[in-house]
Amino acid sequence: MAKNVYKTTYMIEYIKRKYYIEKIKAYFNKDIIKVIVGQRRVGKSYFLHQIKNEIEKIDKNVNVIFINKELYEFRSIIDYIDLMEYINNRIIQGKKTVIFIDEIQDIKHFEKALRSLQAEGKYDIYCSGSNANLLSGELATFLSGRYIEFKIHPLSYLEFLEFHKLNNTDYNFNKYLTFGGLPYLKNLKLNEEIAFDYLKNIYKTILLKDIVTRNRIRNVEFLQNLSEYIAENTGNIISAKKISDFLKSQKINISNNIVLNYLNFLTNAFLINKVKRSEVGGKKIFETGEKFYFTDIGLRNSIIGFRLQDIAKIYENIVYNHISRLGYDINIGKLKDKEIDFVCKKNNEKIYIQVTYVLSDQKVIDREFGNLLKIKDNFPKFVISSDKFKVQTYEGIKHINIIDFLGSSSLLTLLTHK
């Protein structure tokens, strides 16, 4: 078997997502519920199996109860009463019990069962879900301070290379830009006909199962049109009013509130991510006008196609995804009439980032570096582009090639990058 390829008790083969395993290990056997969240098909189920295998390495006698609501065999677990009965019938006295519940949001009032299990203090509990609002809302109400969330992202660029057994080349980087990082793609040919067919089906499943059915949406056509609009305008400032006004120009009358609700549905299903604007150097958060980025760039491309004229938008999207994967809080920076693509914060760190496709001429260099030069503090500032030798530093601001950037495990490591 290839290095880093594993099989579970159920003969599920997977490639280890080491970054996430290391993050969650500190919470093994702790009296706090571990909630794994993320978009459909990013690998949450496989990650739960990886956690299970890691725990069994530590204690071979552990009693594992594994429930996957997407499997037919668990169809009878409909509500929290069924869930408690199933678990109680599988407790083995004298053994530590570890409970895994995959796609827990499909169990009615699941939070009541979790509260009861957690109150007993005898179980190591892990669950996953594909709806941010349902999970955080219910858990915050019933289990405040007694759970911790871990968000699973699509494959990073380095994981993409590992999964597909590819070398780090410009050609393979373009494959990542085109098809994104959903793990199952490793089983398919990376061409547009095959890969996009798969991605389109995942997109439709997210819309219909995670959004339309769950939120009882009637205007499915508008939901589809809205997601296409977001795909077309990835990285642009968007507001509900702007969308509503555009629709009115097309003789479609949909209110701001409905637009906001539908945007929230798309966000709660982890299909897109909303990034607010904030004042650089101040605390003001602007209430209108945000940017939206797709959790997986391949899904975005499957909606409207991969187009070379969108390359700058795609770059911005994958840079956002990498920063988010590293655990930074991200805002769009506003500095008078200038915009900073990303203001990244984590603990006491703050980093400013500008993204462009190429530093094609002095005018572009002056614009991208110039915006950062107007920020009067000493926090690190970077410009990211596809250029490899264009400019290394510009008045103290560092330039990073985008492939090098996507290989970083910490933004601060880029300060010493050569």
Q: Which CATH number applies to 5-151?
A: 3.40.50.300
Measured on CA atoms in the order 137, 142, 144, 145, is the torsion positive or negative? negative
Residue 52 or 390, more confident: 52
Task: Please tell me the distance from the alpha carbon of residue 209 to that of residue 262, in angstroms, as a whole number.
Answer: 15
Q: What is the pLDDT of residue 10?
A: 46
pLDDT band for 8, please (50, 70, 90 cuts). Answer: very low
Percent pLDDT > 90 in the chain is 77
Type of residue numbered 244? S
417 pLDDT tier (thresholds 50, 70, 90): low
**The pLDDT value given to residue 156:** 97
Measured torsion, CA atoms of residues 142, 101, 72, 216, in degrees rounded to the nearest 10: 40
Q: pLDDT tier at 311 (50, 70, 90 boundaries)?
A: very high
Tell me the per-residue pLDDT of 51-61, one tens digit each, with 9 for 90 and over. 999 999 999 99
Mean pLDDT over 357-377 rounds to 93
Position 287 scores a pLDDT of 72
pLDDT in tens, 233-278: 999 999 988 888 888 887 788 888 999 999 999 999 999 999 999 9
Kindly tell me the sign of the dihedral angle through the C-alpha atoms of 307, 312, 317, 322: positive
pLDDT of residue 4: 56
What pLDDT, on a 0 to 100 scale, did the predictor assign at position 244? 85
Mean pLDDT of the chain: 91
Answer whether 0.85 is exceeded by the pTM: yes
- The span from the CA of 404 to the CA of 180, in Å, is 17
84: part of which helix (H) or strand (E)?
A: helix 80-88
Q: Where are the beta strands (DSSP E) in 82-240?
A: 97-102, 123-129, 147-151
Q: Would you give the DSSP letter of residue 238?
A: B
Q: Residue 207: its pLDDT value, please?
A: 96
- Per-residue model confidence as pLDDT tens digits over 96-134: 999 999 999 999 999 999 999 999 989 999 999 988 877
Query: CATH 3.40.50.300: which residues of the chain?
Result: 5-151
Q: What's the CA angle centered on 237, arms 177 and 155, to 5 degrees?
A: 25
